[in-house]
Structure 1
Amino acid sequence: MREEQHRDEFAAATDRILAGRAADGDAEAFAALVRRYAPMMSAYARRILPGTSEIDDVVQETFITAWEQLSTLERPEQVKSWLMRITSRKAIDRIRATKVHSDFQEVEISVPQASDPPRRAEASAGVAALGEALGELPDRERQCWVLREIGGHSYEEISEELGIPLSTVRGQLARARKHIIVRMEEWR
């Protein structure tokens, strides 16, 4: 009973409180962060590493790193974006280490929930067309596009994570966007 009360208390706690307590060594507060963000981190890792069995490993490595470095987090209220950056870096490290050429047709992009079947079918077809357009991009352009448009990373974060100059990130994104705009023209 006491454990359930504790879980309920943590479920309602803010990220700032949980991260602060976890940084002080509170394993239960850290477990609450794991429960809160593991599904989102898995979905995000799956977008970067589609079709691989390494997604759970990436998430687990992210939480290990987070536990070890949580005391260095200057703004505990930003723990979510911090965890997502670590997830991104771990996933990209896997790509670099194994030279995986991701097939972005397997990227799970959610289809907006529509009430009528024709709209759902159209949305599904649009997502499939986007997957095909992404699959045609060179790996580096695709990685930049996914990190920016799906992951919400800044240009600086992409530059840092991929180890490429900021100007290269801009160029890769411009080329990727141009290709996608041309390929998705009929869906406008």
Structure 2
Amino acid sequence: MGTGTETDEQLVRAIGHGDQQALARAFDRYAATLTRYAWAVVESRMDVEESVQDTFLTLWQRAATLELPADTMLPWLLVVCRNHALNAGRKQARRRGVELPEELRAPDDHAEAVERLRWVRDEIAALPETDRRICELCLLEGHSYAEAAQLLGLSVGAVTQRVSRSRARLRKAVMHDEH
């Protein structure tokens, strides 16, 4: 079955049965989105790459028992990626002798993780229309900046600038997450 018609539920079930090719298809589908998301949480390329890899390792390990709360695995992947990125941030903080505040510590259970991800949807929804649409296209749907620019009739530079501004806003929200 091609990636275009294979649902996330089907992918998760195949991964749960040990299908490495299904994991590769999930990676192809979501790695770029998770990479962009991880950059909003951590600052080093190595930490971003490690967070994304660890997210897919977690998917591999938990797929057999994973129940998707929606038709997509993206919210679950984003929560897991955020937790791995925060772990990377904690490692960096320990190296520098800095303690992270309680609200930035990883949640203990899936329900809490889903609730804590609510801030992402809220922050994106609060953006001006064009910025919101750019985030949806690039962050959630995985389009490149060039594709988003073409779809919205903007220059790539304008999309890049707006993404940078939105990323800063999301990073600020992560640092002040009170949900």
Q: Give TM class, smaller chain.
A: 0.5 to 0.7
Q: Structure 2: 5+ residue runs without aligned partners?
A: 99-134, 139-144
The one of 80, 86, 100 equivalent to 1:86 is: 80
Which structure shows the higher helix fraction?
A: 1
Describe the superposition over 1:55-87 as per-residue Cα deviations: whole angstroms up to 9, x where unpaired: 111111111111011112122744221111110
1:1-188 counterparts in 2 under 5 A?
9-75=2-68, 77-99=71-93, 113=149, 115=153, 142-144=173-175, 169=178
Q: How many angstroms does 1:38 deviate by?
A: 0.6
CA distance in 1, matches of 2:42, 2:11: 29
Instruction: Give the alignment's TM-score, normalised by structure 2.
Output: 0.55
- Cα RMSD of the aligned pairs, angstroms, is 3.6
Q: Give the CA deviation at 1:142.
A: 4.3
Larger radius of gyration between Structure 1 and Structure 2? 1
The CA deviation at 1:24 is: 1.5
Letter in 1 for 2:22: A
Task: Give the number of the structure with larger relative contact order, counting CA–CA contacts within 8 Å between residues 6 or more apart.
Answer: 2
User: Which segments of 5 or more consecutive residues in structure 1 lack a partner in the other structure?
Assistant: 1-7, 102-108, 146-157, 159-168, 171-188
CA distance in 2, matches of 1:130, 1:18: 31
Q: Does the Cα contact within 8 Å between 1:23 and 1:71 map onto a contact in 2?
A: yes
CA separation of 1:44 and 1:25: change in aligned 2, threshold 3 A: same
Identity rate of aligned residues, in percent? 23
Contact residue 51 and residue 81 of structure 2 kept, 8 A? yes
Q: Could you say if the C-alpha distance between residues 79 and 46 of structure 1 is closer, same or farther in structure 2, counting changes exceeding 3 Å?
A: same
Count of aligned positions: 126
Normalised TM-score (structure 1) = 0.53
45 and 127 in structure 1: CA distance in 2 versus 1, 3 angstrom threshold = closer
